Chain A
Amino acid sequence: MSSSAGQQQIKTLKVLGEDVWKNKVEKINSELFTLTYGTIVSQLCQDYDRDFEKINDELYKMGYNIGVRIIEDFLARTALPRCTDFNTTSEVISKVAFKVFLNLTPTIANWSQSNDAFSLIISDNPLSDFVELPIDAMKSLWYSNVYCGVLKGALEMVQLDCDVSFVSDILRGDNQTELRIKLNKVLKDEIPVIED
């Protein structure tokens, strides 16, 4: 793809994201969402006795289950086809998916040399409004780990097998919230078993 065609496409995706957000999404109070998520995390902290590794896993699993379903909702709203390359995937995630579901547009950064991994820099993360982590959680809890699960699940449903994890989080004292997505492989479509 030539770079001007690429620029054109990015612009179109941006317009698409904004249009869907404006016209096809019912709005809710984001504080309600933030507080609901906070309740879930604090309940998990109690249930798992502040074992933050387990809580991270649990949030990831919950996210995965959301992701495999929310992808259908996303496709129904946007009518996007499968991505042809990973660059496009990154643009769709940041300009359309995050915009439609959370009204934010993370910055894409730190592409790996082989073009199979990138980072999303999330500023104004709605999940972590009003949140301050206690000292014991700061070292090991990825508060917004549900994002990783959602992205993992949703990408898997469009045949992209990826590793998704947080690299840094403002809540842990880092200077930005960075989420890394690495493509392992593009899954093959199944073919029917041949009968005699």
Chain B
Amino acid sequence: MTIYSFWIFDKHCNCIFDKEWTIPSQPRSGTTNSKQNENVAKLLYGLIFSLRSITDKISSDPVDFLSQKNRIRSITTGKCRVHLFETATGFWFALMTDFKQDDYYDILNHIYKNIFVRFISLNYISPSDFVENEDEKGGQGIRKINNKNFINNLELFLSPLIS
């Protein structure tokens, strides 16, 4: 199994973090919060957003609160698979991988619980909301997660999976 890239979107439709690994054998290779990925991020957001609207519409059963809504978990193409993890506060975590493994839920859950919450949400020095004014809402934002602890821990955790 190989992972290609990792993305975080917030509830203001902004991509607040992206990481792409370019050479699979070298976990340290690749780009973080790259300007060049801006358009890909928007397209990926749009894809997930549209699929979400569709899945919301096609589930007709009354939703029991504890069983999740009919959310997309992954999107597969001929070459790769995008795994998704969504929180009630509106963060989306997306992991792009090859399609040898079906489920990365535990991995995304771990990233949220032990890396994101720890180094971003409960870190009072880091902003909890990456939008500073109205103009940055609706996908117009430019702010990214640049927290060193977060990035290092994320790379450390994901590096065994890049190969």
Residues of A within 8 A of B (CB): 1, 5, 9, 12, 65, 68-69, 71-73, 75-77, 79-84, 88, 157-159, 189-193
Contacts and interface: CB of A to CB of B under 8 A. Distances in A.
B140 A9 contact: no
Contact of A75 (B65, B68, B89): B89
A84 B68 CA distance: 11
Interface in B53-72: 62-66, 68-69
Contacts, number: 69
Given A76-B112, A81-B69, 20 more contacts: A1-B62, A9-B65, A9-B66, A12-B66, A69-B122, A71-B89, A73-B117, A73-B122, A75-B89, A76-B113, A79-B109, A80-B66, A81-B65, A158-B89, A159-B90, A189-B11, A190-B137, A191-B49, A191-B138, A193-B139
A83 B122 contact: no
Interface in B91-120: 109, 112-113, 116-117
Contact of A158 (B66, B69, B88, B139): B88
A11 to B, nearest CB: 11
Contacts of B146: none
B46 A190 contact: no
B138 A190 contact: yes
In this complex, which of B49, B137, B139, B140 has the most chain A Cβ atoms within 10 angstroms of its Cβ? B139
B128 A75 contact: no
A1 to B, nearest CB: 8
B31 interface: no
A84 B11 contact: no
A84 B63 contact: yes
A75 B42 CA distance: 26
Interface residues of B, number: 32
Contact of B88 (A1, A5, A65, A82): A82
B155 interface: no
Contact of A192 (B49, B65, B87): B49
B121 A69 contact: yes
Contacts of B73: none
Contacts of A73: 117, 121-122
Given A73-B117, A75-B89, A88-B65, A192 B138 contact: yes
Nearest to B120: A72
A12 B65 CA distance: 11
20 contacts: A5-B64, A9-B64, A9-B65, A68-B129, A69-B121, A72-B87, A72-B116, A75-B88, A76-B117, A77-B113, A79-B109, A84-B63, A190-B12, A191-B49, A191-B138, A192-B42, A192-B45, A192-B49, A193-B138, A193-B139
A88 B11 CA distance: 22
Contacts of A82: 88
